[in-house]
Amino acid sequence: MAALQCRTKIVATLGPASSTYEVIRDLTLAGADVFRFNFSHGSHEDHAARHKIVRQVEAELGRPIGILADVQGPKLRVGVFAEGRVVLEQGAPFRLDLDPTPGDTTRVNLPHHEIIAAARPGSALLLDDGKLKLTVTHVGPDFLDTEVTFGGPLSNRKGVNVPDVVLPIPALTEKDRADLAFALDLGVDYVALSFVQRVEDVLEAKTLTDGRAWIMTKLEKPQAMDNLEAILAASDAVMVARGDLGVELPPEAVPLAQKRIIRLARTLGKPVVVATQMLESMISAPTPTRAEASDVATAVFDGADAVMLSAESAAGQYPREAVTIMNRIVQRVEADAGWRTLMQAGRLEPEHYVADAIAGAAQQVAATIGASAIIAYTHTGPTALRVARERPMSPILGVTPTIDTARRLAVVWGVQPRVSNPDKPVRDAETMVSTALDIAIGGGFTKPEESIVIAAGMPFGVSGSTNTLRVAKAPKAAG
């Protein structure tokens, strides 16, 4: 039996634990709305096989499902050690250089000349997900001399983070470009873009995708937080990627960054996904910790469009349980009177143009008359996005003539995407109303004599022309 679809969506990562038809179908029925393909792992053949299964499940269940291709981005790592591992002592000098010779307790290869070129005395280098910290004392033409601020064991090819320097490194590597081309040919709905530092990184990706997928910018670098407004404005959607963000920002700054990103994304009407370690303990346990349940609930209370599972569903022992419990947490929060009060109190002022005025009015009218649903006719998504921005309590049915748009709307708060009947194209007001009622009644959202609110643009088929608001009542039951 399918889980009740919540307003806050669930993104589930697929991987070795969740690549079969049975598991993917179960995850969908448990509440997953979007599946993430992590291109840091697995082959193109693996992703193609998962894509085929997701589309099979989508067709069988008659419900649009989004697919997110998460490209890896640049991976900055140290080289190797002669003995595979060293222990760096606090206060000791340590050199990072371009020499590929295996390292020891005094030095190691850093095969990234961009870091050496950009670093300055006083710059911090974080190694192995922040477990070790080096402070640059001297910059040479092909090396960095540092002092070990926080020591510990360091082994081959551990990651390097540079939190306080803008690196002249593009967000897309050659591997990413090949993965991106493959993902677009598959027909994914969103591309998650890693290592974004500047708005130019987003614009480059948008040029490469050319409208074939929405760009979901992963906010994981402090430099991106410094350019947040411009980056969000250029993005189609955003992800609060708390893994690398939590390495490069102080831990106490991450919750505030999360709230800032969600608030600004909501203001701009851009879908925002909260990710990383949401139910981390469920990789190996059948239930989450209380703190993890509270973490998911906090994202829902903040008004995030979606919450995401990573290793919990991709490689963990309990992928079905992870999605089921996340869905239960979301349901419980959305049934709470305090959550409704927060959504109403946080409602944003409409921006000064017609489409936003219509979306704001749709929410107000629906609340006043107790409408059973809001029908948002949308060709490429903007009308549904603007209505979702208002966080109405009535379900939003995003009705579109294209399956591509329906799949992209799967990540948007409160929107249940529906593809209109191609044999009954919407070309006039009469067809608009009858189609809206058919979809609302057929989907079980509206009963006889209940009212719906319709937001649309005329003439139909012109993107970005939302200018019409209608109220319609379902007919009496026959007999």
Q: How many C-beta atoms lie closer than 10 Å to residue 95's C-beta?
A: 18
The one catalytic residue among 7, 9, 36, 242: 36
Tell me the two tokens of residue 114.
Answer: 């961009």
Determine whether 276 is an active site residue.
yes
At 419, is the secondary structure helix, strand, or coil?
strand
Burial class (CB in 10 A: 0-12, 13-18, 19+), 168: exposed
Cα 23 to Cα 46: distance, rounded to the nearest angstrom: 15
Closest CA to 72 of 209, 171, 186, 204: 171
Q: Residue 435 — φ and ψ, nearest 5°?
A: -65, -40
Between helix 382-389 and helix 354-369 the angle, nearest 10°, is: 50
Question: What are the C-alpha distances in Å from 160 to residues 106, 117, 154, 222, 267?
Answer: 17, 15, 11, 15, 34
Tell me, yes or no, if 218 is annotated catalytic: yes
Distance CA 143, CA 71 (A): 30
Residue 290 neighbours by CB distance under 10 Å:
8
Q: What are the angstrom distances between the C-alpha of 276 and each of 57, 114, 295, 304?
A: 26, 28, 11, 14
253: which DSSP letter? Answer: G
- Our answer to whether residue 270 is catalytic in this structure is no
Q: Where are the alpha helices (DSSP H) in 210-315?
A: 222-226, 228-234, 242-248, 254-268, 290-302, 311-314
Distances (CA, A) of 31 to 5, 422, 427, 456: 6, 28, 34, 29
Catalytic residue among 25, 75, 77, 131: 77
In order of 217, 265, 313, the CA distances from 233 in angstroms are: 11, 9, 31
Q: How far apart, in Å, are the Cα atoms of 403 and each of 59, 366, 368, 378, 398?
A: 11, 27, 32, 12, 11
Query: 239: Cβ–Cβ under 8 A, 6 or more apart, which residues?
Result: 192, 216, 217, 218, 219, 272, 273, 274, 275, 308
From 13, 146, 276, 435, the catalytic residue:
276
* Contact (CB, 8 A) for 390 and 360: yes
Residues 6+ apart with CB under 8 A from 86: 103, 104, 105, 108, 153, 154, 155
In sequence order, the β-bridge partners of residue 475 are none
Active site includes 77? yes
Q: Which of 346, 266, 330 is nearest to 298 (CA)?
A: 330
Catalytic site residues? 36, 77, 218, 276
